[in-house]
Amino acid sequence: MISTRTIESIRADFPLLQRTQGKNPYIYFDNAATTQKPRSVLDAARVYYETLNSNVHRGVHMLSQQATDAFEESRRVIQRFIHAKEDREVIFTKGTTNGINIVAHGFSRAILKPGDEVLISGMEHHSNIVPWQMACEYTGAVLKVIPLNDRGEIIYEEFLKLLTPRVKILAVVQVSNALGTVNPVKEMIADAHRLGIPVLVDGAQSTQHLRVDVQDLDADFFVFSGHKVFAATGFGILYGRAEWLDKLPPYEGGGEMIKEVTFEKTTYNELPFKFEAGTPHIEGALSLAEAIRYIEGLGIDFIAARETELLSYATESLAQIPEVIPVGTAAHKASVLSFNIRNAHHLDVGTLLDKQGIAVRTGHHCAQPLMQRFGIPGTVRASFAFYNTTAEIDAFHQALVRSIGMLV
Ligand code: C6P
């Protein structure tokens, strides 16, 4: 726990949080979709273009070398943040979706055979379903799904039953974007490893809320997106244990990922470059490193504690409204409150909240199979970051009551 700063001074770091709608401050409760950026992150991208702009790993000239140093220093900042053993295990990607596709493609080319199984959970985002379905389609492997209970938690006994030597990879989300459920991934990884099964953890919704230590988790792969961690869009991380990354073929061919090219044959570059074809998103890397410095300045434990408080305050607040039907009531949750309003459509609720200056997300949240499990077309989702306040939650409560008055 670090921060002793006031919430007002923290909010002042985020230009977008100064926006208003009409006379009221704008309330941003769509942090699971993307987070707002502190000024230091915005400055990192601007300063890069103003003082360092050049291509990395390519030039002998001063600018290119300085840009390369800053770019590779970002990799080490990210390595330390997620506690990876080596910086070559940190692959720069376009985001979570891209990271999962790189691994699923590698498994479809090098590992999966007909009759093998890929195990995922019933609460996965489409980006941790579709790439595996494609891998199964190409290889004849079979996709298996861990069922959920009515609270939106993995049924652990069912998970253990599905964990057989036929499973060649387990791919599971650490925090569900649609329910907020925090999965016991450390325990799941230990159980999978007892059978020698590698595990990919989708950290898109966990890295910004919880302390991530890939070595302590013993994860084989861990993916997340910069834009959900207060940094730029279009940039993310695939962490992979070096032994695994060495085993998988590259995803894209092109510049940077090669050692030597002839028309007859190409040999591939070492890690991490084997998976980084083409000119990278340089300012994306710099902005993520800056966002991590910002997070570390506040303290990830401070962030986690503050968000736990906000989530329980909001949960209690909505429990006072009889028309609210919560969706996802797991014992262990992070920062996401999904719900429906009895006899109202989630889209109408979201639209009325928007008219009152409150941004929430509505719909299936890119988790259609999960919505099917609950027999609903979608939910209203409020998702919080450390810069949100209980006063905003009070305003949200009042706006929701007004919306319900108009709808039911
Ligand atoms: N969820 C949401 O509003 P990308 O788009 O690659 O940065 O992240 C994909 C992704 C993968 N896994 C989980 C658990 C996610 O939540 C997301 C993105 C956003 O919930 C946009 S759909």
* Position 1 pLDDT exceeds 80: no
Q: What is the pLDDT of residues 341-354, one digit of tens each?
A: 999 999 999 999 99
Kindly indicate the confidence band of residue 405, based on its pLDDT and cuts at 50, 70 and 90.
Answer: very high
Q: What was the pLDDT predicted at 408?
A: 86
Tell me how far the alpha carbon of residue 276 is from its chain's centroid.
20
Say how many Å lie between the CA of residue 125 and the centre of ligand 1. Answer: 7
Q: Which residues are catalytic?
A: 366
Could you name the CATH architecture of 42-296? 3-Layer(aba) Sandwich (3.40)
CB atoms within 10 A of CB 118: 27
Q: What atom of ligand 1 comes closest to residue 127's alpha carbon?
A: 11
Spelled out in words, what is the top-level CATH class assigned to the domain 7-30+299-407?
alpha beta
CA distance 385 to 11: 11
Hey, is 222 helix, strand or coil?
strand
Say how many Å lie between the CA of residue 126 and the centre of ligand 1. Answer: 8
Q: What atom of ligand 1 comes closest to residue 97's alpha carbon?
A: 6
Hey, is 186 helix, strand or coil?
helix
Place of tokens 């504690």: 305
Say how many Å lie between the CA of residue 124 and the centre of ligand 1. Answer: 10
Residue 3 structure tokens: 């921060």
CA distance 298 to 68: 28
pTM: 0.98
Residues with CB under 6 A from ligand 1: 32-33, 95-97, 125, 127-128, 173, 177, 202, 204-205, 225, 361, 365-366
Instruction: Return the amino acid letter for 114.
Output: P
* Position 93 pLDDT exceeds 70: yes
Q: What is the pLDDT of residues 151-170, one digit of tens each?
A: 999 999 999 999 999 999 99
CA distance 277 to 256: 5
CA distance 268 to 247: 12
Q: What atom of ligand 1 comes closest to residue 176's alpha carbon?
A: 14
CA distance 16 to 79: 29
Angle at 87 between CA 302 and CA 238, to 5 degrees: 75
| Cβ burial 157-186 (10 Å sphere, 16+ → b, else e) | eebeebbeebbbbbbbbbbbbbbbbbbbbe
Q: What was the pLDDT predicted at 58?
A: 82
Residue 91 structure tokens: 């692959």
Tell me how far the alpha carbon of residue 56 is from its chain's centroid.
26
* Angle between helices 282-298 and 62-82 in degrees, nearest 10: 40
When the pLDDT of each residue in the chain is averaged and rounded to a whole number, the result is 97
**Closest protein CA for atom 17 of ligand 1:** 204
Q: Count Cα neighbours of 202 within 13 Å in the Cβ-side half-sphere.
A: 29
Say how many Å lie between the CA of residue 64 and the centre of ligand 1. Answer: 33
CA distance 297 to 287: 15
Q: What is the pLDDT of residues 202-260, one digit of tens each?
A: 999 999 999 999 999 999 999 999 999 999 999 999 999 999 999 999 999 999 999 99
- How confident is the model over 57-80, as a mean pLDDT? 95
Tell me how far the alpha carbon of residue 115 is from its chain's centroid.
30
Say how many Å lie between the CA of residue 100 and the centre of ligand 1. Answer: 11
Q: What atom of ligand 1 comes closest to residue 233's alpha carbon?
A: 7
Domain layout of the chain by residue ranges: 7-30+299-407, 42-296
**Sign of torsion over alpha carbons 357, 339, 363, 234:** positive
Q: What was the pLDDT predicted at 59?
A: 80
